[in-house]
Structure formats: structure tokens, C-alpha cells
Structure 1
Amino acid sequence: MQGKWNFYACLIEDMPASILLDLSLIGAAPLHGFDRLGYLRLYMNAPRPDGLSSNDEFDRLVALEDQLLAQLEPDSRLRYVGRDTANGARTYYFYLAESMPFEDRAAQAMAAHPEYAFDAGEQDDPDWRVYRDFLYPRPQDLQAIRNRDVLQALRGHDDHLELPRQIDHWAYFPDVASAQAFAMWVEGEGFHLSPPPPGSDSSFGVRFDRIDQPDAIDSINLPLVEKAKALGGDYDGWECQVIRP
């Protein structure tokens, strides 16, 4: 699959869920001419008690998904954008050109898998609300994805993630007052303020650091994301040195 695919855990109707999506589409959505949403909901045969997929069924679901997308994705009249897994089902989402007979194509693709119950449907969604408002992660979830990617890169350098070291952070705000309010708050949380990064006519930066363990980064910077957003700004990420054995 082309694009920038990633996943995150969340809740859907108070049930644990996992969402996989192409993050790269957020800057282009909605794509011209793809005004309808098609979905194919597959009912798992051996879900976990919490409704997520089980290890027992994992390989079978992967093989089915590969076969399903191999049949559907070559059709230029649809664009696969993501899926969710929750409450004993896995639902695939596609945006469709007007001429795409999605329900018929979905039924044809599933004919090779009679052991699985499914349903399929279509609806108008010219603004891509399902992609933007349902599949796409909230700021905290998006940061958790980025954290996981950075940690994976550090592991690739044989980093000892449990070892404390200076972690640098950045955030940007639309005015001096909100930047100063955030700076005062992070100082109260034990961070050290550094000279601010270059801003622009429309943004004001805050740079700060603290000695922390990278393997605890979610508990460290997800509150920073929330606080920056509450003040009208954006948390812009973190970095640290690699520590090898």
C-alpha cells in the first residue's frame, strides 16, 4: 500500500479499538471526484473477549486482508483509506467515484471467504468526515504515533531507552501571551527553559528540556500536547541523544 500508514489504539463507543489509516491523506482530503464512502464490515470468528482480534485468528485475518485489497485496490474508482477493529468486527473504509458499484465488488471479493460473515454499504461523504473526524487521530493519539516512531528509530541505534538523559521539546503559539503562559506552566512541571526557537510573524516558540527516560515519553509529552492545545498552540515534538551500551 502506498501512503503513510500507521495505527493507534482508542475507544469506539466505550469499547477498545484499533485504527489503521493512511495519515498522508489529511493534507489532500477530500480528493476530487471521490464523494462517496464505501465500507466492508467483516465479523471475526474468534475475537478476544474485549472485541479486538485474537492471536489465534491473526494470520487468517492478515491473509484475508491481503487478498481482499489485492482485488479491490487496483480499481482506480476507489481509494482505501483505513480500517478499524472493534466489538468483534473489522471494518474497511474506501472513498469511491460515483461510477463505482462498491457493494457488488465487495461481495465478489468476499465470495472466496465463505467462512466469514460480512456486510457492505455506501453513503455520501463529500467532505470526508469519516476519514477526518473518525479515523484520523486526535492530537494526543497522533503524538503517541510519533512517539512510537521515534522510539523505534532509537531502538534501531541500539539505544538503552530506560536510561535518563536530556530530552528537548518544542511548542509554538499564536501570540506572546500564550507562549509565556505555557513557558510558566512547563517550568512548574520541572522543565528547564532554553532560548526559544525562531518563530515567525504568526508564531512564537517555546523550547524546553528535562532529564527523563525516553521509554516513558507518552506520560511526559501527552500532557504537553493537551496543555499547548488548551492555550491555542501546538506541541512540535522532541529529540534526545542516543545512548548505547
Structure 2
Amino acid sequence: MKVLDSLSENGDLKDKEREVMHWAYFPSDSSCNQFAAWVKSENYELHFTGKDEDSSDCYTKFTHVGAMHLVDITNHTIKLGKKARELGGRYDGWETSVEKK
């Protein structure tokens, strides 16, 4: 909700579709790679899978294109969080650009 509120406060056009970046972290390469394969099977675009420079965790960075309606983004975050937890990891959130035109 904080991100959606911030977008709105900055004049975002919530109907305009744009790229949304997501992250998920895992304690093992195996679970990270399983999540990355699942992300791709769910039609997300995978941008990175590998070690975090600041910790021993493996993480994935991936995107989807969508609008900024609460129900739309929540459908993604709930599904992503559930799958990350199933694999022993954690979904770390999302970010996107403010679209005014």
C-alpha cells in the first residue's frame, strides 16, 4: 500500500501499464533456481539470479508489466510471497516508475 500511496501522491496514472520489478531471496542456490524456473513458467521476465554481494543469500530479480490497481498488484505479490515461502525464501517486494502521461 505504501508504494501505491506514494505513486498516487506523485500524480501517477494508475491505469497506465508499466514494468514492475520484483525481488525474492533464498538461503540456497537450489531453492533460488527453483523459484527462478517457476517465475519464468508464470510468464515473468527473469533479469537476474545469483548471489547477493552483501550476504550469502541467492536472489532473483524479475518483472511483469501491469497497471497499479490494488487488486492487480496484490494478485502478484500474494502469489509470489506464497511460492517464495514454499521454497524457504522470502519475497522482498516491488517497485515501479511513476507514469504521468
TM over 0.5: yes
Q: What amino acid sits opposite 1:232 in the alignment?
A: G
**Whole-Å Cα distance in 2 between the matches of residues 197 and 175 of structure 1?**
10
Where does structure 2 lack aligned partners over 5 or more consecutive residues? none
Deviation at 1:225, TM superposition (A): 0.4
2:29–2:50 Cα contact (<8 Å) kept: no
SS at match of 2:33: helix
Deviation at 1:196, TM superposition (A): 3.6
Percent identity between matched residues is: 34
**Whole-Å Cα distance in 2 between the matches of residues 210 and 180 of structure 1?**
18
Q: What amino acid sits opposite 1:237 in the alignment?
A: G
2:45–2:64 Cα contact (<8 Å) kept: yes
**Whole-Å Cα distance in 2 between the matches of residues 187 and 194 of structure 1?**
10
SS at match of 2:100: coil
Q: Which runs of 4+ in 1 moved over 4 A?
A: none
Give the match for residue 98 of structure 1. Answer: none
SS at match of 1:210: strand
C-alpha spacing 1:179/1:164, structure 2 compared with 1 (3 Å)? same
**Whole-Å Cα distance in 2 between the matches of residues 240 and 173 of structure 1?**
22
C-alpha spacing 1:236/1:175, structure 2 compared with 1 (3 Å)? same
2:15–2:68 Cα contact (<8 Å) kept: yes
**Whole-Å Cα distance in 1 between the matches of residues 55 and 9 of structure 2?**
38
1:191–1:208 Cα contact (<8 Å) kept: yes
Give the match for residue 187 of structure 1. Answer: 40
Asked if residue 233 in structure 1 is aligned to residue 89 in structure 2, the reply is yes
Give the number of the structure whose alpha-carbon radius of gyration is greater: 1
Q: How many residues align?
A: 98
Q: What amino acid sits opposite 1:165 in the alignment?
A: R
Asked if residue 209 in structure 1 is aligned to residue 63 in structure 2, the reply is yes
Q: What amino acid sits opposite 1:208 in the alignment?
A: F
What do the CA deviations read for 1:6-51 (whole angstroms, capped 9, x no partner)?
A: xxxxxxxxxxxxxxxxxxxxxxxxxxxxxxxxxxxxxxxxxxxxxx
Where does structure 1 lack aligned partners over 5 or more consecutive residues? 1-147
Deviation at 1:195, TM superposition (A): 2.5
TM-score (norm 2): 0.90
**Whole-Å Cα distance in 1 between the matches of residues 3 and 50 of structure 2?**
21
CA RMSD of aligned residues (A): 1.4
**Whole-Å Cα distance in 2 between the matches of residues 201 and 153 of structure 1?**
29
Asked which structure has the greater RCO (Cα within 8 Å, sep 6+), the reply is 2
Give the match for residue 22 of structure 2. Answer: 169
**Whole-Å Cα distance in 1 between the matches of residues 49 and 94 of structure 2?**
14
